[in-house]
């Protein structure tokens, strides 16, 4: 009888001292929230269609109910063309000076019910470019449709929308740019 109670008692004592780790999805969501960069809609178009923007390693989330899951691609220079014979990233972003361009491929688009389409004509974006300017206090989001990654050799890449954002209250983000 004592031999039977000994393993049971050991299990009970082990369970009392056991701590439960948070569910993996909660941990991932918490990490993403801690690493996300928040920007407020700075242009009338952004305020109307997307609302504020949150950028994390795996995508971008819009306050008005859209989410783009993305994968990071080769960074581009601001003066590079977005397509063969097209405009540069800087020209489309209506900016000049010290800019960084982060290009991402869109893996999936999720729109909550009632969320406006990010591109006219209910087109789904296939690529995005985040054009950071002025010490990362501003970002212009360029949305592209087409099969080709935006760049000087692209023949099937078109800008479908641009949205401008700024850091909340003009404060510089401590995290910097998530690449």
Q: What are the pLDDT digits (tens) for 125-143?
A: 999 999 998 667 899 999 9
pLDDT at 135: 65
**H/E run at residue 133:** strand 127-133
pLDDT at 137: 85
Q: State the Cα–Cα distance between residues 47 and 136, nearest whole angstrom.
A: 20
pLDDT at 23: 52
Question: What's the rounded mean pLDDT across residues 98-117?
Answer: 93
Question: What is the domain partition of the chain in residue ranges?
Answer: 36-169
Question: What's the rounded mean pLDDT across residues 80-100?
Answer: 90
Q: Which is more confidently placed, 25 or 123?
A: 123
pLDDT at 19: 43
Return the structure tokens found at 2. Answer: 């004592």
pLDDT at 29: 44
Answer whether 78's CB lies under 8 Å from 119's CB: no
**For 156, which DSSP code?**
S
Answer whether 81's CB lies under 8 Å from 74's CB: no
Cβ-proximal residues to 170 (8 Å cutoff; 6+ apart), any chain:
137
Answer whether 65's CB lies under 8 Å from 78's CB: no
pLDDT tens, position by position, 29-58: 444 445 788 999 999 999 999 999 999 999
pLDDT at 53: 96
Q: Which is more confidently placed, 133 or 16?
A: 133
Question: What's the rounded mean pLDDT across residues 148-155?
Answer: 96
Q: State the Cα–Cα distance between residues 114 and 103, nearest whole angstrom.
A: 28
* pLDDT surpassing 90 at residue 146: yes
* pLDDT surpassing 90 at residue 171: no
Q: State the Cα–Cα distance between residues 60 and 109, nearest whole angstrom.
A: 10
What's the mean per-residue pLDDT of the chain? 82
């Amino acid at each position: 009888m004592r031999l039977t109670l000994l393993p049971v008692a050991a299990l009970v004592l082990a369970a009392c001292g056991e701590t439960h780790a948070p569910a993996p999805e909660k941990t991932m969501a918490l990490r993403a929230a801690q690493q996300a960069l928040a920007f407020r809609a700075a242009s009338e178009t952004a305020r109307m269609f997307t609302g504020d923007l949150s950028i994390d390693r795996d995508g971008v989330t819009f306050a008005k109910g859209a989410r783009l899951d993305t994968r990071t691609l080769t960074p581009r220079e601001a003066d590079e063309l977005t397509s063969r014979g097209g405009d540069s990233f800087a020209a489309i972003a209506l900016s000049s000076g010290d800019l960084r361009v982060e290009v991402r491929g869109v893996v999936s688009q999720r729109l909550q019910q009632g969320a406006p389409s990010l591109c006219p004509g209910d087109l789904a974006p296939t690529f995005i470019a985040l054009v950071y300017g002025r010490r990362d206090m501003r970002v212009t989001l360029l949305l592209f449709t087409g099969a080709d990654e935006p760049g000087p050799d692209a023949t099937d890449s078109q800008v479908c929308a641009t949205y401008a954002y700024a850091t909340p209250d003009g404060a510089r983000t401590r995290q910097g740019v998530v690449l």
